[in-house]
Structure 1
């Protein structure tokens, strides 16, 4: 799966939770879920669960704690997908 497709699928997930629609419309890898999109910490957990379901991966607590920006989320998803492919 290429990065634009992955980003599009991730954006579809976070759209439900984002409070700041302008930041959502101009989403970049530097976009911060909490500061830019105004997503609260409880909804970050929901996003992680939705990502796990959407991509068929499992995100551990360490990865979850690093998943604060779009770029970090993409890196984690790519790494988990690659690990699944190796299994």
Structure 2
């Protein structure tokens, strides 16, 4: 199981291509909001969810996807799905 720091590092790699605000990206915390802080558009959030599914071999349902708005929420969802495997 990856540590929270490792999950954040992997998540940053996944979201990097979609980020519009580089400065906010350099200071990512668990509170960072993908749309508000990183200026990622909502269509790209779907791409991020798909990339996360692929990276971790998990399935992110629509309900989880709707909650995946911050780095912290994404990490919780990833951990939850990995634990359920």
TM-score by length of 1: 0.95
- Give the corresponding residue for 1:50: 51
Question: Which residue is equivalent to 1:71?
Answer: 72
The alpha carbon displacement at 1:46 in A equals 0.3
Name the counterpart of 2:32. Answer: 31
CA shift, 1:35, in A, is: 0.3
Moved over 2 A (4+): none
Q: What CA RMSD, in Å, does the superposition of the two structures yield over aligned residues? A: 0.4
Listed one character per residue, the Cα deviations across residues 24-74 of structure 1 (whole Å, up to 9, x for unaligned) are: 000000000000000001100000000000011000110000000000000
Q: Is there any run of 5+ residues in structure 1 with no aligned partner, and where?
A: none
Q: What's 1:59 paired with? A: 60
Which structure 2 segments of 5+ residues have no match? none
Count of matched residue positions in the alignment of Structure 1 and Structure 2: 84
Alignment-derived partner of residue 6 in structure 2? 5
